[in-house]
Chain A
């Protein structure tokens, strides 16, 4: 049946346009219930469960499907999602397009009413349809709506209908489900004191008008970690330099939450403020005294030039709420069902939730979602989503850090897994198309011990003409991950594999990462090979890229490979191959360093895990062997060769990686620190930096060089992915290469997958797809990848920090030697080489008399009483675990040597009251 729709539309220019659109109503959409003879179930796979599990509802005892209306779906789906509870969601959305359930908008009926009626018609149709299907199998569709009128009308029409709350309450099996409902009911808010705290948010249309005319500014709201009454808004748009606006005070923040997109209005200059340097945490349980607490702390006299543009939030353009991890602060009032929830992230306000299980949730990490923030409420309202487990438990904490760093870590969905190759898998004729057979080559892989996702393998052999053939073979992941399917989308979303101390969160399902793509020895694997012909001076004569099939002859660890190279009596193919590679790698490295590549250093540690409990029992700094740098050298070479190739082929949309040179001001700290040791560091070019770092040696202080390199690392910028058509600075500063990309680890980085696809198209081994040559899409991918990489790094660091805590928890209090990395106004930052641990020693505490501190910015040094601290000074610190704040346990360090009366703690006392009353650390003037 054909329906034509005619409507009038106002065009952008202001004219009125008539638009005619036709719409075909179909008669071939199945009901989705399997076994339905009438529909044949032919068109889609069954969407409904064959026999809905019995959720044991007291209002509806027989098995049934649920049909939530759009509002219920929108607001409750996240909160109430549990397998088997909402079975029929997917199919209900499809129905309005079907012939039987099409509903014409009636005269005087608005769009919402029409939708409601359409859903009712659908529910009715479903009930009749299911009745026809089988008489004995009394399946029913229950309509769930929160709209009172809608429900009444539904019952009138003979459709069993309930409100969401009614239905969930009636579920006898899951009483705790009620807590998870988003509280949107109007009654919930009425109890609040009628006093209106916040000014109203303007509607979107007004905001857009205002933004267009320039009265309002659009930006991302960033709450301050240190002060809950302060936030900054990063204004979008690049016409000016990234403009930052300060917001101060609850009222001006006006219910915006971290990461929201907001519209702000600038205040007149007379009301501008300077960023306060005070640490303020929202501790008040009391909701009434909003006004008082605000005005007291601020308004210290500030100089004129410190003032920054100040504004207030007038409206929210887009909320970016997500479920937050944190802990429940149980209400003082007994029997109360309302409690405050304190998120782990200090930038998120506390959230009021309603729960009956407060006592069981106490001391647990839980997840809460925000539902709304009424004008008369001090805190946003939310609902409980999930209980993660006890605080301090390893699983719980891992989950928390994954959630807080937005690392997607759920198991792969069925849809994603469906795109995996079927096992047992073997290489077919079709796979061999456009592929070279390199199984005869003596290829081996060199990786850290215990590595299961081997994505690179190497070979080297002498050619008849005396030159060397060197091959880097990378797992051909793009052969398995086809563009656009669910598997591809999921990997693109994850962006990278995240390695935590005891866990790996894969980017691609395990079947691929540890089996089919992993270049294990003695099996045939698909690879993407980059093969060079080189002379003995490691000069590239010819470069060839090809898809291939390889059969690795050995999977070695770095240590094993080193042993083979070193032992004189081994002369098999693999060993000669390794020796050849090693020789070339040394030349390559030398050449690279001559060009000005930096060798930086960061204290990396590895935990030795107890095999039973997975508790860390010891720490070890990572060792570096010759073979590490051998593999690295060839990976770099492959990446650079590939980058050149894809940029040559796709000048506008090659995915590359750049490392911008840091602004000179970044180096200040390094230069000053070196000067205090009478060393000079030149920073004008990468090469001079590398050279001066090499020369910076002190015979009496061998660790100094490493320290300098660690400091230099801190001065660097972040390397980022970008699309070649969107940028014109390709230089990679750290590697001193004019062009660079990532090609060599497609199992754990999505960027490499894209690069593989680009390269495959460039050599004609694979076909392209529209998104691949769309530079805006590519730029979006880069943005996500950069974000995920950053988050993965943070998560990794957080994981190391947590394990360090566990380690010191078991170890008790220890004293260790440390070096000063930075000197701050009221503290020193030290590095303990033994553990690779960095920490801050504070010299000011709230309940102690402040010592006399003199800070010199120029040297830099800090004089406390009579002792002067310089950067790189050796000190001795005591390390202990501070668990005074359950949510944020941390390592605390205090000074032992040199002894300063009143500051350092004597070496022998260990009975400090660590778990005493909360001590708030004030971090001033940063």
Chain B
């Protein structure tokens, strides 16, 4: 941490932003035709892709259904694998049972081997990816109206193409757009943003440099309309006296993200309706 000034005397951060400013966000919905819903988002240099399948029939106890599905999709993927040279959104059969009263949300997170400065060995399945998948699942179980689709399953696959801090937030935001694109009913947008705490100031939307400095880091997923928190996670220690300020910074940033995502969705709908010729 020595030598790196995360917040200058004039109040600028390493990359020229002010404390509460987000990085530039660009997003697109419906990037893949084959999936039920998909979206791509860039938050600064963090880039993430989300794909949603479902709601489809839940994978039951027997392997027949699952393997069938797997077989069908497996062929399809082998195809794609050849084309993209190994980069694949692989589907692992979930062993979970379908739930009688609501839909099962299955989330998988992976990050591309080329997403970081040093090439990663294993694109998915490591401890961090598993944890991230669980967090995403928690987040979306809180947001998706799962009781509308009992005994079915919703798959959300997220891949980080380039990581520069705030991967969780980018994944949630991308997945929200993808779920919306799939037309799955949700309570609200889920907007996520990270926040940190440096020199008594709360910083919104941390970049990799700021994350690497090792200060406290908070990830928040918010349902902006109701102000409900879908997920809140914090690394490192922060005194409770400051928590409120950091939380407020993250919430404000999440609300800002909501404004942007809302714009993206409206734009997408407008374009789609023009295509449909209404």
Contact = CB atoms under 8 A, between A and B. Distances in A.
Given A17-B117, A484-B199, A23 B15 contact: yes
B23 A22 contact: yes
Interface stretch (A353-361, A515-523, A665-673, A768-776): A768-776
Given A2-B24, A17-B117, A19-B117, A770 B12 contact: no
Contacts of A769: 200, 239, 242
Contacts of B200: 483-484, 769-770
A479 B58 CA distance: 62
B209 A21 contact: yes
B162 to A, nearest CB: 8
A22 B22 CA distance: 13
B239 A767 contact: yes
Interface in A7-36: 15, 17-26
Nearest to B10: A94
A816 B17 CA distance: 73
A4 interface: yes
Interface residues of B, number: 23
Nearest to B44: A22
B227 interface: no
A678 B202 CA distance: 70
B17 A24 contact: yes
Contacts of A52: none
A773 B240 CA distance: 13
Contact of B16 (A18, A19, A24, A773): A24
A435 B69 CA distance: 69
Contacts of B118: 15, 17
A46 interface: no
Contact of B15 (A15, A22, A770): A22
A857 interface: no
A794 to B, nearest CB: 31
A767 B209 contact: no
Contacts of B24: 2, 24
Contacts of B207: 21-22
Interface in B40-93: 44-45
A770 B200 CA distance: 8
Given A19-B117, A769-B239, A26 B45 contact: no
B109 interface: no
Contact of A773 (B12, B164, B209, B239): B239
A603 interface: no
Nearest to B197: A770
Interface string A523-564: 000000000000000000000000000000000000000000
B278 interface: no
A23 B164 CA distance: 13
Contacts of A18: 117
Interface in A741-793: 767-770, 773
B126 interface: no
B238 to A, nearest CB: 8
B233 interface: no
Interface in A635-690: none
A26 B10 CA distance: 13
A22 B46 CA distance: 11
A830 B168 CA distance: 75
Contact of B164 (A15, A20, A24, A94): A20
A24 B12 CA distance: 10
Contacts of B241: 767-768
A44 interface: yes
Contacts of B239: 767-770, 773
A2 to B, nearest CB: 6
Contact of A4 (B12, B21, B45, B238): B45
Interface in A434-493: 483-484
A97 interface: yes
Given A20-B164, A770-B239, A26 B16 contact: yes
Interface string B215-238: 000000000000000000000001
B16 A21 contact: no
A556 to B, nearest CB: 40
A769 B242 CA distance: 8
A18 B154 CA distance: 37
11 contacts: A15-B118, A21-B207, A22-B44, A22-B164, A23-B15, A24-B17, A24-B21, A26-B12, A26-B16, A770-B238, A770-B242
Given A23-B15, A24-B21, A44-B10, 15 more contacts: A17-B118, A19-B117, A20-B164, A21-B14, A21-B45, A22-B23, A24-B16, A24-B17, A94-B10, A483-B200, A484-B200, A767-B241, A769-B200, A769-B239, A770-B197
Instruction: Kindly list the 4 A-B residue pairs having the minimum CB-CB distance in the complex, ordered from nearest.
Output: A767-B241, A24-B16, A17-B117, A768-B239
